Amino acid sequence: MTEPQVEPRVERRRLSHELPATPASPELRAGREGKIRVATISPCGCWGCNLSMLDIDERLIPLLDKITITRSSFTDIKRITERAHVGFVEGGVANEDNIETLRHFRENCDVLVSVGACAGWGGIPSLRNPIGVEECLREAYVDSPTAVPGAPPVVPLHPELPLLTRTVRPCHEVVHMDYFIPGCPPDGDAVFAVIDDLVNGRPVSLPAATRYD
Amino acid sequence: MRGSPGSRGYEDLPEAIPSTSGRERSGDSLYRPPEPGGPDARRCSTGIGADRTRLLDMLWDLQDTWRYVPEPVLADLAPKLGTTLLDLRETASFYHFFHDRYAGRHTIYLSTSVLAQQCDYDAVLATLERETGTLIGGVDPSGAFGLFETPCIGLSDQEPAMLVDSIPFTRLNSAKVTSIIAGLKAGHPAVELADPEIHDSRTVEYVDSLVESNLRLPGVVFFRPDPYPESFVERLLTRPPEEIVEILAESELRGRGGAGFSTGVKWRMVASAPGPERYVICNADEGEPGTFKDRVLLTRSPRQVLLGMIAAAYAVGARHGILYLRGEYSYLRDYLEQTFEEFRARGLLGTGIGGRAGFDFDLRVQRGAGAYVCGEESALLESCEGKRGTPRVKPPFPAQSGFLGLPTCIDNVETFAAAARVLEEGSRWFRAVGTEDSAGTRLLSVAGDVSWPGVYEIEWGTTLGEVLEHVGAPDAHAVQIGGPSGVLVAAAEARGRRIAFEDLPCNGALTIFDPTRDLVDITRQHLDFFVAESCGICVPCRAGNVELRDFVARLQAGRASRADFARALACADTVRRASRCGLGATSPKPLLSTVEAFPAAFEAKLVDERGPLLASYVEDEAVVPADVYRSVREGRR
Amino acid sequence: MSVTITVDGRELEATEGETLVEATARHGIRIPTLCSSPEHRSVATCRVCTVRVNGQVVAGCTVPVRDGLTVELDTPELRDLRRQVVELLFSEGLHNCPSCEKSGFCRLQAVALDLEMTSSRFPYRHPRREADRGSARIWLERDRCILCHRCVDQVRDPDTGDRVFAMVGRGPGARIEIDPDRADRLTDEQVANAVELCPVGAILHKGRGYRTPIGQRPFDVRPVRERDLEAAVDD
């Protein structure tokens, strides 16, 4: 018999948007006035799609006259400070935390854009779907070649850790998504084309250079 | 050395068991299973030889003998047929009744039809599982019983029903099932339990002891006293073949398989198509759930059907024929073959029929093996050739290029029987019955919530209300016309509609549901049927029907939104229009027609999107419970 | 015999008996296809070439051209129908373009991009399908197989003419199987042809992966639309 692991009791895991935040200074706020607020999140992704947004390169500078980036890895702001006009999501939904993050994002963004393979169909993380979560956990933590021989297996179950979902789902199977940019990652031009269309109020059209890989 | 695995490397195989369905046949001593490793040996000596087109018969032999189709035996057979193991597996794996694993000394197929589920199905299934010692879909540890589900077996008027070693048992209940399984355990063959008086399997008494005909209303075309076959053929031969075709054309008889194509025009096409030989094929693959009138016609009037085929052979110039009998009706085979024998003895089949030199025609029964799609004429031809029942691309049509590429006249059982009657009474007589666009009468298989289920012959043009009154269905709420591939109508609205090609075409099934029946669940069951019966070769049918079925299941679970509904209906439309054959084209009809007739039944189950999370996404079920982690940690599986 | 057909209101010369897909391609009008192509007529399995001919919805690759055919091709309704068919394929299988060797050679990928598919409207099923690596040179990756039937019909043992691939099972459970002994007897050229024949990444040549870098592959440099029309003219 293995020793039962102690599972510490924690009242409730706090979600990222519930963390304390420092209000922005009045000057900063004034500078943002009237701009289109853009936010980005990465539930179960690799941040590669966010990096593709940086591949907009110098086009980002004039763009910043029109938009301001709130919650995003670029700004290191971990919560939505105020309702965003456009939200970009890279990554699919693989655990409880992803569900909450996406739910909160949907509630606080006017338009959501699904960016990349993971958000679009599950991507690499979803390769676990055909296998099943139990077999994956067993392979990773119990029958793993790196498991310490003789030691009780450690399976990451802790109230501070989000529980996995049975299968990894694309974002649009969890909440409504408005637009899709496929690619792994989509290139900067594709991302720019969509932002540019949205910012200028044009119907979103993807460039011919769209790829799935 | 009956079936003992020899030195040929079949040690892994269970010992072969002699076929329990193989009752003694005349002239044959006890049925001998083929020697292991030489499964075609018996057939070699009796005519099939190494004929690849007879593969279904060979596979049936293997299945009956070994109780599955063992791969090593197939591997042995392949070179003898000049082909490969993979080629044979391709065919074998298509058919529901051929198993690649041991399917039990007694193989039981319980009908899962919608109507069975509305009878005592759950109790029957539970008893079967308890008494046989296996769950449905498996074989019990002793190997005595294999228990499987199967779609409608053509006994909708006497459900719940099952096949045990191809022998039908009807009107099942727990007590009856218990006694059948006890009898099998005591060593009695299924056939003796079903027919304790042990009739000759070649007689109608035998068929009648197994299943009821429930012929409720014969009319002017069918179920008449048999015409005297000699005089029928004599009269036939007084006219040139072209005139026979013209009589059929003038009668405006339309095919009863569903499409309603003019029989005379079809025969004319076959007669005029170039080819070294022609074939006449009778489609007795009556697989449409809820339909059983062809079974009754073959039981009560096999001679009339056969005379129709002989007339067709004469009219189109065919020397060979096939009666493709659905595997579920295997118990009719000996009886039908006996009818052929009788005709041969009377000089009405074989060479010089009716004394006319050069009029040669003979036929055989081809037993199907559990594939609804084989009712589609081109799939049936593929199956007759010993292949998978994949429908062909048309054109060319079977009339131009059918069995083995030869011009082929393929008609439904009822069509041949009607054709014989037309030739007896004349085209004018026939055309006077029915309506403008639908000449003659129609057989209906009536089942469901009615007082007198069974077979009725109605004149085309009879209103649905009249039929409902006649069959005793005062509470009819919904009527499935022509099975799941037909339409579901609201009885209240459709009473005045006429059963006719120009109004409510009907394939021959009329299934009645009273107001207590769950129409959404019936829709899902019908979609399940099409998912299972799709041949799988085209995308809309193979993948689309799964989406439709999954949508209805989500709807039933209270997780479908209005947007999901719209998407499903659009998908149904795509499946209907883009599929490759008639199965795909009709497969979304359970959804489309039920929604049209009873929109409220669906709308009542739709849910509003209430929050950011979609109704179809249920967080509680999506997340892995902590217990799963614990059981992985503790090594539980 | 030369005949005239009308496609989306445009009158075109065509040759009686050729298929609609072939006839339109010569005039620079492309009907998308997966299971058939100018070199290979098919058994019409994919239905991506669905069009409306004289009011009837049919697969364009099966329609022999006759004088006076009226064809609707580029309508919003038909475009959506064709896209649904492709989306069904993406939902049914596991089409992992980012980690597929065939990316850039893949006809399914190219056609989906051409139809401007960005995501499937149907739930992704992520099926578990076993790969077959049993033959010496061919790797059969069933995740991506769309059961187009091309390999079944066209890849044959060089000596006996026996088929190397076959479709086994039926309905949603149908799958392609390979005869490893006969596969091993194929010439290298035949193996290469089999890989090219496969419109997805289901048939792969072991040991030959990534010889052409991503970005330089046929559909990376030219969209399927242009390539198909070019092939039709060469024909």
pLDDT tens digits for B132-158?
Answer: 999 999 999 999 999 999 999 999 999
Across the interface, do C214 and A121 touch by the CB < 8 Å criterion? no
User: Is residue B32 over pLDDT 90?
Assistant: no
pLDDT band at B41 (very low <50, low <70, confident <90, very high): very low
β partners of residue B147: B108, B138
Instruction: Give A183 or A29, the one with higher predicted confidence.
Output: A183
Q: Do C81 and B578 touch (CB under 8 A)?
A: yes
Chain segment B482-533, per-residue pLDDT in tens: 999 999 999 999 999 999 999 999 989 999 999 999 999 999 999 999 999 9
Question: Which DSSP string do the residues of B422-463 spell out, in sequence order?
Answer: HHHH-HHHHHTSB-SSSBSEEEEEEEES-SS-EEEEEETT-B
B42: Cβ contacts below 8 Å, ≥ 6 apart:
B32, B34, B61
| Residue among B547, B623, B629 with most chain A CBs within 10 A, to mutate | B629
Contact list in B for residue C50 (CB cut-off 8 A) is 577-578
Task: Decide if pLDDT at B47 tops 50.
Answer: no
- Average pLDDT on C13-29 reads 92
Query: With 90 as the cut, is the pLDDT of residue A79 above it?
Result: no
For residue A12, what pLDDT band results from cuts at 50, 70 and 90?
A: low
Which of A2, A165, A174 is facing B624, going by the closest CB pair?
A165
Structure tokens at A128: 């676990």
The residue whose two tokens read 């250079």 is A209
Q: In chain B, what residues touch C45 (CB-CB under 8 Å)?
A: 537-539, 580
Mutate to test the interface with C, among A52, A93, A121, A173 (most CBs of C within 10 A): A121
Residue B93 at interface with chain C, using a CB cutoff of 8 Å? yes
Q: Which residues of C115-138 are buried (b: 16+ CB within 10 A; e: fewer)?
A: bebbbbbbbbbbeebeebeebebb
With a CB-CB cutoff of 8 Å, which residues 132-171 of chain A face chain C?
Answer: 167, 169-170
pLDDT at A147: 85
pLDDT at position B24 is 34
Average per-residue pLDDT in chain C? 94
The reply to whether residue B614 touches residue A175, judged by beta carbons under 8 angstroms, is yes
Q: Which residue has the higher pLDDT, A210 or B518?
A: B518
Contact C177 B577 (CB under 8 A): no
Residue B33 has pLDDT above 70, yes or no: no
In this complex, the residue of A120, A184, A213 whose CB is nearest that of residue C119 is: A120
Question: Mean pLDDT over all residues of chain A?
Answer: 89
Reported for B195-202, long-range contacts at CB under 8 A and 24+ positions apart, including other chains, are B201/B23, B201/B25, B201/B331, B201/B334, B201/B335, B202/B26, B202/B334, B202/B335, B202/B337, B202/B338
Is B532 in the C-facing interface, judged by CB distances under 8 Å? yes
Distance, CA of B324 to CA of B384 (rounded, Å):
8
Chain C residues near residue B543 by CB distance under 8 angstroms: 88-89, 91-92, 172
Cα A163 to Cα B625: distance, rounded to the nearest angstrom: 8
A99 at B interface, C-beta within 8 A = yes
Cα atoms in the 13 Å half-sphere on the side-chain side of A13: 13
- Report, as an integer, the average pLDDT of B582-586: 96
Q: What is the pLDDT of residues A80-116, one digit of tens each?
A: 878 999 999 999 999 999 999 999 999 999 999 999 9
Hey, is the C-beta of A114 within 8 angstroms of any chain B C-beta? no
**B584-589 average pLDDT score:** 98
Contact C167 B537 (CB under 8 A): yes
Residues 6+ apart with CB under 8 A from A12: none
Q: At what angle do helices B302-316 and B333-345 cross, to 10 degrees?
A: 60
Q: What is the mean pLDDT of residues B188-196?
A: 97
pLDDT tens, position by position, B444-481: 999 999 999 999 999 999 999 999 999 999 999 999 99
**In this model, does residue A5 exceed pLDDT 90?**
no
Best C88, C89, C126, C210 residue to mutate vs chain A (most A CBs within 10 Å) = C126
Sort out which chain B residues have CB atoms less than 8 A from C149's CB and list them: 537
Which residues are bridge partners to A69 per DSSP?
A: A38
Question: C96 in contact with A at a CB cutoff of 8 Å?
Answer: yes
- pLDDT for the residue B295: 98
Average pLDDT value for residue range B562-574 = 97
Residue A24 is predicted with a pLDDT of 79
Decide if B618 touches A, using CB distance below 8 A. Answer: no
pLDDT band at B7 (very low <50, low <70, confident <90, very high): very low
Instruction: Using a pLDDT cut of 70, give the percent of chain A over it.
Output: 92
- For C162-187, write each residue's pLDDT tens digit: 999 999 999 999 999 999 999 999 99
Share of chain B above pLDDT 70, in %: 92
- Average of per-residue pLDDT across C99-104: 94
- pLDDT of res. C105: 96
Task: Give the residue on C whose Cα is nearest the Cα of B579.
Answer: C47
Closest CB to A182: pick one of C94, C119, C129.
Answer: C119
Task: Indicate the average pLDDT of chain B.
Answer: 92
Residue range B225-249: average pLDDT? 95
Instruction: Provide the pLDDT for residue B187.
Output: 96
- Residue B48 has a pLDDT of 58
CA distance B514 to chain A (A): 37
Residue in B86, B532, B616 closest to C177 by CB? B86
What chains are in contact with B, requiring at least 3 Cβ pairs below 8 Å?
A, C
Residue B90 at interface with chain C, using a CB cutoff of 8 Å: yes
- Sort out which chain B residues have CB atoms less than 8 A from A163's CB and list them: 623-626, 629
Q: What is the predicted pLDDT for the residue at A2? A: 47
